[in-house]
Each structure stands twice: as C-alpha cells, then as structure tokens.
C-alpha cells in the first residue's frame, strides 16, 4: 500500500504541468472600477487560484487595484457596491407581520447581500444589517 502511494506521488511530481489559461488585465484597473470585457486577456500558464473565465469577471467591481499583466484572483473582484459610505439608507426590521422602517446613514460601502454598519439617525445607535437588492438594509 505504501509502495503504491509512493509511486503515485512520484508520478504526480514528475508529470508535466497541466497548462491552463488565466485572466490578466490589459490596463491598470483602480479599486471600485467596473471590469469590462475589453480590459481582459487570457494568458497561458499555470497559476494556482487564478481566474480563467471572463464571464466571472465582466461587470464585477475591482476590490483592489488590478495591475496590467498580473493574474486575477477571486478576492480581487466582487459585485458592484450599491451603497456608498455616508449614503442615506432605509433600515428595515421585520419580525413576523411587524415591519419597522427608519432612516439611517451608511458607515461603509457594500454590494447586495453584504453586511454593512449603519447609524440610525433618530436614535444615533449603530446597527449592522444586510444590504438588499433595492438598497435598503435589513436588520434583525
């Protein structure tokens, strides 16, 4: 059993690498910019964890600056933010049939589905909630 495992491990180490395409930006894309199809190119090589499908990146927002020629990784991009810091948002609390709405100020930025801290303008307390598709923030 150990001999078979050693042979498999040695074979895997000696096998030629599997080449795959990975995405690189053609220009420097600043953080918070939306990535367009013309900003991307495929490059041959083996980079672990690099993105390879342009459809996964197109229309997404750069979370950090993306430099030309460097491989794109999943943490470098994300959905576009719909709430910016200091935006006025509607806070919504739902419990069964009860629904309470209040006005708040976003203390961060984020996309739909992400958590964001918001200050309730009437009570001045800070709460954390999840951003909804319509730009409101649901708190529990």
Q: One digit per residue, pLDDT tens: the chain, 140 residues?
A: 444 444 444 444 554 455 678 999 999 999 999 999 999 999 998 888 899 899 999 999 999 999 999 999 999 999 999 999 999 999 999 999 999 999 999 999 999 999 999 999 999 999 999 999 999 999 98
* One domain for residues 68 and 106: no
The CA distance from 115 to 130, in Å, is 4
* One domain for residues 92 and 133: yes
Domain holding 52, by residue range, is 18-78
Is residue 83 one of the residues assigned to a domain?
no
Give the pLDDT of residue 4: 46
Return the HEC string of 59-128: CCEECCCECCCCCCCHHHEECCCCECCCCEEEEEEEECCEEEEEEEEECCCECCCCEEEEEECCCCCEEE
């Amino acid at each position: 059993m150990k001999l078979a495992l050693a042979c498999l491990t040695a074979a895997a180490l000696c096998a030629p690498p599997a080449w795959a395409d990975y995405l690189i930006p053609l220009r420097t894309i600043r953080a918070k910019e939306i990535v367009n199809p013309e900003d991307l190119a495929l490059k041959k090589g083996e980079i672990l964890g690099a993105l390879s499908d342009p459809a996964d990146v197109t229309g997404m927002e750069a979370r950090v600056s993306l430099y030309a020629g460097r491989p794109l990784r999943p943490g470098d991009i994300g959905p576009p933010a719909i709430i910016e810091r200091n935006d006025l948002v509607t806070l919504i609390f739902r419990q069964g049939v009860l629904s309470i709405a209040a006005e708040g100020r976003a203390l961060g930025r984020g996309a739909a589905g992400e958590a964001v801290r918001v200050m309730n303008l009437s009570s001045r307390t800070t709460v954390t909630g999840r951003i909804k598709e319509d730009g409101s923030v649901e708190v529990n």
